[in-house]
A and B are shown apart, each in its own frame.
Chain A
Amino acid sequence: MWTTEPSLNQKHLTCPFCGLACDDLSITPGDRGIESLDPKCDKAKQGFRLALQAVSRGPRSNGAPVSMEVALQQSVQLLKSARAPLFAGLATDVNGMRATLELADRCGGVLDHLNGDAMFRNIRVVQDNGWVACTLSEARNRADLILIIGTQCFDRFPRFVDRVLLPRESLFSPKAGRHLVMLGPWQNNRLPATLKDYAPITLHAHPSQWADVAGMLRARLGNRPVDSGRLGGQLAEGVEELARLLREAKYSVITWSAAELTFPHAELVIERWAALARDLNQTTRSSVLPLAGNQGDITSNQVCTWQTGYPLRTSLQYGYPVHDSRLFRYQDLIENNTADLLIWISSLDPEAKPPACDLPTIVFGHPGMELGQEVEVFLPVGVPGVDHTGHGYRSDTVCTLPLGQLIERGLPSAATLLRTLLDRLGD
């Protein structure tokens, strides 16, 4: 690992706790970890606080403390006898994922991320159709219309407003001329305080209506004869207004967080929004900006894609990669007894625990992770960007941010432990 000076008093920390990967944070340490964080971000503060306050209880075997040596030996035994190991969670950094893939290749494992359901809502759209997309800086500097689908982006990506939607400065699209259109069940939700003064256009629509809204917009912009009135009075008027704004915008951006689209086959709805942006490019410019990257999902997916040729939900059981986003969902593999060993890697969030199940389990966990149900082996690992350096991908899949080390408390990285296991497994 390359090193950075472990220090909390850094001016520009990179935050690994959400897909925006903000790298302008500074911590004011206090008696109990963090006094304050600047700029303000509840999510980053919580992530750093939990990481810094965590007191590792060391390696455990079936709940009992054991030496690292014993824990590693047991892990090797479990891996050697496994016929169908499942590598899941995968909330780690680039090198953690590289080591995971090498181990999975060696053992014949299947790979899935704990955010797999959300992630594949987007990936399936790319696999089936492709899309026209942009990155955070493009949206920030160029978008004169941003359509935000859903109400939860602001909780999942707290600084989306000041970093992208309403930045202090923008190269080509000053704040004054920007249209923000917010589609979602806003009637039952409160707009984020940061947006109140700006008075964005809100379209009140339940998630079950989002497909129809997108379809209606595509039909209207394609001059096909549809009756927007079928959406209901207020929403119909809003859709007509939005169609006009989209047609007139120089560069529109459509954004969502796939984690919010929790209904089955939500990829069909996303496909419609992506198709709308694609259609718009016939006459103007438009892009999608899907928000993701939490729990390192983009990170592990990117590494898996270049190393296997496929995204996650890929199996290496047959000696070569086979991908199937529906058959290799980790929850299903556990439920239908297709896996016989769970290797759960989760180093960013103590609450991202392995699912309760009867499978023998090895956990490479956040040092603060407390399991309700004890597992065969628990190996505490460092938090990337806190305990060790690393790399994390941002939401837009292009930027890999270097993560620095803040403290030294002797916690190994997931990559280090996984590579140790690899060496011990032999050929």
Chain B
Amino acid sequence: MLIKLSGGTVYDPANGIDGRVMDLFIRDQHLVEPPADNEPIDQHYPLEGKVVMAGAIDLHTHIGGGKVNIARTLLPEQQPAYSRPRAGRMRSGSGGIAPSTHATGYRYAEMGYTTCFEPALLPVNARQAHMEMADTPLLDTGGYALLGNDEFLLQLIAEGAEQQTINDYVAWTLRASQCIGVKVVNPGGISAFKFNQRALDVDDVHPHYPISPRDILRTLSRALHQLGVPHPLHVHASNLGVPGNYLSTLATMDAAEGLPIHLTHIQFHSYGTEGDRKFSSCAAQIAEAVNRQANISIDVGQIMFGQTVTVSGDTMRQYANHGHAHPRKWLCMDIECEAGCGVVPFRYRDRNFVNALQWAIGLELFLLVDDPWRVFLTTDHPNGAPFTSYPHLIRLLMDRSFRNDMLARIHPDAGASSHLASLDREYSLNEIAIMTRAAPARLLGMTDYGHLAPGAVADLVVYHREGNPEQMFERPMLVFKRGEVVAREGAICASVNGSTHVVRPEYDQGIETRLAEWFARYHSMSLRNFGISDDEMADGIGSPVVIHPCASTSHP
């Protein structure tokens, strides 16, 4: 099958193409060089006046694993708000803020997203996360394994284990859980909460182990660097949501000691204590630190007004916030001496000072961080808002007058205490393409994704060029998944299943001896059942793995 896309205006920042009218060719599942003149074209799409980009990549969205299922269970009364009827072979679904898997895949694809990453995959829950993502059609997926609150690692660090041993354990975890990266959530804090500690700042000492979050951050960021894992340590920093936490965030950046580190949903970590309400924006301080340190990347975790549900591994902070639950019910879970999970439904209100300022802080961060290659468009779905609000968010970034109209509607004191009105920046289509395609692919080491050069996987999106970016990004004209048209005019027309993206750094298998002993003594399952094989991924779970290379290993 040879497909020609002619005359579209292409935005492909990974290849330095910023709005060039050009032809693209797809052969089977990949983009290819223009064929010989005499080769017949099977399908031809004339795209004059249309915008063409690679399929969008969401590098931080909670779409798989136990906590999403818990959210679905906790909120049966919220689910009917969005019901998706069955249509032919397309499955039915429900749920606007915690959608069912099929509804998630369809809706993402309808918006031009072709790859999504679950950022908090508990290794012990990896099978479920991969199963849910396998049942999320049209998307390639992957996960970041949660480490840094597992008692095994904390004990290793506390004992002063060699970095090499840590590296082996990290690499083993990536292999066992079939993940592409490693995330740490409130380093040490989830574990500390199990010991009844209610707060743990970057340099506080854990109640059981003589180590601090800083030690965990340093050890893990170093491990990933030395293992050559492309995606840097993905960090949900200490003190989420606490006024004054920007200092913890700056300390977290510092703890990486210059090695690459990704700070996620940083909006929730950019709060000061100024003003009458002791709650203020520190977006400027955070953005300045990001601009200054090239080793740091962030995603924003923008909030949007309305009902949503917060799902997080950070039981310490979720428990602390349970009083804000709306509706008033919530759930926390301590999980397998490995991590935890807290689910607290939430309604952000534009007339509430704190919520309104959170909204402004997120936008300030987008606009104040200079390099679009290091700031990513997320709502931390569903924590800040459901992913379905992305087109609206894109409009907020691209259209200053629209942004100011929205600003005028929020709590007046919040508007007044934000710099947002003075920020003139408007994102260009090229910058949107960077932050939603090229940059995430690069940060994850997915060389064949997120761009449109010959050889790339043919995940691509054709947009109508509308005056209103929200309409443009809400209903693309065409979405191709691996060379097949799966959505037209914002409606799914075909369903294909995705793959699971992983990295697989090498490690000394000697670590498994130690792990086997640990599992036998303390765990409730055996080591051999912990890890997931490639065959199990492909045949049992239903999502074959795509392995991305790691950089050549550097040794300490």
A residues sitting closer than 8 Å to B (CB atoms) are: 1-3, 12, 14, 21, 23-24, 94-95, 98, 102, 105-106, 123, 126-138, 140-142, 163-164, 168-172, 250-251, 281, 284-285, 287, 302-303, 305-311, 316, 319-323, 389-391, 394, 397-402, 427
Does any Cβ of A come within 8 Å of B83's Cβ?
Answer: yes
Specify which chain A residues have a CB less than 8 angstroms from the CB of B529 in the assembled complex.
Answer: 12, 14, 23, 401-402
Give residues of chain B (529-545) contacting chain A, Cβ–Cβ below 8 Å.
Answer: 529, 532-533, 535-536, 538-542
Q: Which of the residues A98, A316, A401 comes within 8 Å of B92, measured between beta carbons?
A: A316
Q: Are B332 and A132 in contact (CB under 8 A)?
A: yes
Q: 1/0 per residue B121-133: CB within 8 Å of A?
A: 0101101100110
CB atoms of A399 and B86 under 8 A apart: no
- Determine whether the beta carbon of B83 is less than 8 Å from that of A321: yes
Supply 15 further A-B pairs (C-beta < 8 A) apart from A3-B535, A302-B128, A306-B131: A2-B538, A128-B329, A133-B334, A136-B336, A138-B335, A171-B522, A250-B195, A281-B319, A287-B333, A303-B131, A307-B102, A309-B99, A320-B83, A398-B333, A399-B336
* Residue in chain B with minimal CB distance to A124: B76
The B409-447 residues at the A interface (CB cut-off 8 A) are: none
Residues in A whose Cβ lies below 8 Å from that of B338: 137
A401–B83 CA distance with the chains assembled, in angstroms: 32
Residues in A neighbouring B98, C-beta threshold 8 A: 309
- Residue-wise, chain B 90-105 has the 8 Å CB interface mask toward A (1 for contact) of 0111110011111100
Q: Are A98 and B135 in contact (CB under 8 A)?
A: yes
Q: Is B540 touching A310 in the complex (CB atoms < 8 A)? A: no
- Check A323 against B125 for contact (C-beta < 8 Å): no
Q: How far is the CB of A269 from chain B (nearest CB, A)?
A: 18
A24 to B525, CA, bound (A): 8
Contact A427 B88 (CB under 8 A): yes
- Are A305 and B88 CB-contacts (below 8 A) given A129-B329, A391-B131? no
Q: Is the CB of B131 within 8 A of A400?
A: yes
B541: A residues at CB distance < 8 A: 391
Which residues between 73 and 116 of chain B lie within 8 Å of chain A, taking CB atoms? 73-76, 79-80, 83-86, 88-89, 91-95, 98-103
B521 at the interface (CB under 8 A from A): yes
Question: Given the complex, which residues of A lie within 8 Å of B165, measured CB to CB?
Answer: none
- Chain B residues with CB under 8 A of A131: 331
Contact A309 B103 (CB under 8 A): yes
Q: Which residues of B contact A398 (CB under 8 A)?
A: 66, 122, 124-125, 128, 333, 335-336
Chain B residues, CB < 8 A from A142: 194, 334, 337
- In the bound complex, do residue B540 and residue A307 qualify as a contact, i.e. CB atoms below 8 Å apart? no
Instruction: Say yes or no: A319-B337 contact (C-beta < 8 A), given A305-B72, A308-B92.
Output: no
Q: Which residue of B lies closest to A324 (CB)?
A: B76
Given A308-B94, A397-B66, do A2 and B540 touch, yes or no (CB 8 Å)? yes
The answer for the CA separation of A316 and B72 in the assembled complex, in Å, is: 17
Q: Does B528 contact A (CB under 8 A)?
A: yes
Q: Does B220 contact A (CB under 8 A)?
A: no
Residues of B within 8 A of A163 (CB): 524
Residues of B bordering A, CB below 8 Å = 66, 68-70, 72-76, 79-80, 83-86, 88-89, 91-95, 98-103, 122, 124-125, 127-128, 131-132, 135, 151, 193-196, 208, 319, 329-338, 343, 521-526, 528-529, 532-533, 535-536, 538-542
Residue of A170, A250, A316, A398 with most partner-chain B CB within 10 A: A398
CB contact under 8 A between A306 and B74, given known A137-B337, A389-B540: no
CB-CB nearest in chain A for B75: A127
Which of A105, A123, A141, A251 makes the CB contact (< 8 A) with B86?
Answer: A105
How long is the Cα–Cα vector from A136 to B541 in the complex, in angstroms? Answer: 24
Q: Which residue of A lies closest to B342 (CB)?
A: A132
Task: List the B side residues contacting A129 at CB < 8 Å.
Answer: 329
A128 neighbours in B (Cβ, 8 Å):
329
Picked from B66, B101, B125, the residue with its CB within 8 Å of the CB of A307 is B101
Contact A135–B73 (Cβ < 8 Å)? no
Q: Is B83 within 8 A of A137, CB to CB?
A: no
Choose from B70, B80, B330, B540 the contact partner of A402 (Cβ within 8 Å): B540
What residues of chain A lie closer than 8 Å to B535, measured between beta carbons? 2-3
Are the C-beta atoms of A123 and B73 separated by less than 8 Å?
yes
Q: Which 7 A-B pairs have the closest CB atoms?
A: A309-B94, A130-B331, A309-B100, A309-B95, A2-B539, A400-B127, A2-B535
- A-B contacts, 9 listed (Cβ < 8 Å): A12-B528, A130-B343, A137-B524, A140-B524, A172-B195, A251-B194, A308-B100, A311-B76, A398-B124
B135/A307 in contact, CB under 8 A? yes
- A38 to B92 Cα, complex, angstroms: 45
Contact indicator A132/B331 (Cβ below 8 Å): yes
Give, as a whole number of angstroms, the nearest-CB distance from B174 to chain A: 19
Q: How far is the CA of A52 from the CA of B542 in the complex (A)?
A: 28
> Chain B residue with minimal CB distance to A170?
B522
B127 and A402 within 8 A (CB) = yes
Chain A positions within 8 Å of B542 at CB level: 98
Task: Please tell me if the beta carbons of A399 and B88 are within 8 angstroms of each other in the complex.
Answer: no
Q: Is the CB of B135 within 8 A of A285?
A: no
> Complex: how many Å from CA A192 to CA B63?
43
* Structural contact, B196 and A285, CB atoms closer than 8 A: yes
**A58 CB to nearest B CB, Å:** 27
- B194 / chain A contacts, CB cutoff of 8 Å: 138, 142, 251, 285
Q: How far is the CB of A299 from chain B (nearest CB, A)?
A: 10
When chains A and B are docked, how far (Å) is the Cα of A169 from the Cα of B195?
19
Q: A320 with B523: in contact, given A309-B100, A402-B127 (CB under 8 Å)?
A: no
Q: Which of A106, A135, A302, A401 lies at the interface centre, i.e. has the most chain B CB atoms within 10 A of its CB?
A: A135
Task: Tell me which residues across on chain A come within 8 A of B523, comparing CB atoms.
Answer: 137
Q: Please, how many angstroms separate the alpha-carbon atoms of A168 and B523 in the complex?
A: 12
Asked if A130 and B101 sit within 8 Å, CB to CB, the answer is no
How many Å lie between the Cα of A400 and that of B335 in the bound state? 13
Cα–Cα, bound, A142→B99 (Å): 34
Structural contact, B86 and A316, CB atoms closer than 8 A:
yes
List residues of chain A with CB within 8 A of the CB of B539.
1-3
Which residue in chain B gives the minimum CB-CB distance to A171? B522
Cβ-neighbour of B100 out of A136, A140, A307 (below 8 A) = A307
Q: How far is the CA of A137 from the CA of B150 in the complex (A)?
A: 12
Residue of B nearest to A127 (CB): B76
Residues on A with beta carbons closer than 8 Å to the beta carbon of B101:
306-307
Closest-CB distance, B101 to chain A (whole angstroms): 5
A135-B524, A309-B72, A309-B79 given as contacts; is B92 within 8 A of A320 (CB)?
yes
Q: With A138-B337, A320-B86 as given contacts, are A306 and B525 in contact (CB-CB < 8 Å)?
A: no
Residue in chain A with minimal CB distance to B133? A306
B93 with A308: CB separation less than 8 A? yes
- When chains A and B are docked, how far (Å) is the Cα of A394 from the Cα of B86? 31
What residues of B have a CB within 8 angstroms of the CB of A95 in the complex? 540
CB-based contact A133/B331 at 8 Å: yes
Please measure, in the bound complex, the distance between the C-alpha atom of A308 and the C-alpha atom of B91, giving whole angstroms: 9
The chain B residue with its CB closest to the CB of A163 is B524
Measured CB to CB, the closest approach of chain B to A275, in angstroms, equals 11
For A105, the chain B residues whose CB sits under 8 A away are 86, 91-92
B85 & A287 in contact (Cβ 8 Å cutoff): no
With A105-B86, A398-B336 in contact, is A24–B526 under 8 Å at CB?
A: yes
> Chain B residues near A172 (CB, 8 Å)?
195, 208
A323-B76 contact given A102-B91, A302-B69, CB 8 Å threshold? yes
Asked if residues B69 and A399 are in contact (CB atoms below 8 Å), the reply is: no
**B334 → A minimal CB distance (Å):** 4
Measured CA separation A295–B47 after assembly (Å): 55
Known: A12-B528, A23-B529. A321 touches B74 (CB 8 A): no
Inter-chain CA distance A165–B257, complex, in Å, is: 44
Asked whether B334 lies within 8 Å of A135 as measured between CB atoms, the reply is yes
Instruction: Tell me which of B69, B94, B335 contacts A321 (CB under 8 A).
Output: B94
A135 and B336 contact, Cβ closer than 8 Å, known pairs A306-B100, A400-B128: yes
Instruction: Contact check, A135 vs B92: say whether CB atoms are below 8 A apart.
Output: no
A169 to B526, CA, bound (A): 15
CB closest residue in chain A, given B523: A137
Contacts of B93 in A (CB 8 A): 307-309, 320-321
Q: Specify which chain A residues have a CB less than 8 angstroms from the CB of B83 in the assembled complex.
A: 320-321
CB of A391 within 8 A of CB of B103, answer no
On chain B, the residues within 8 Å of A126 by CB distance are 70, 73-74, 331
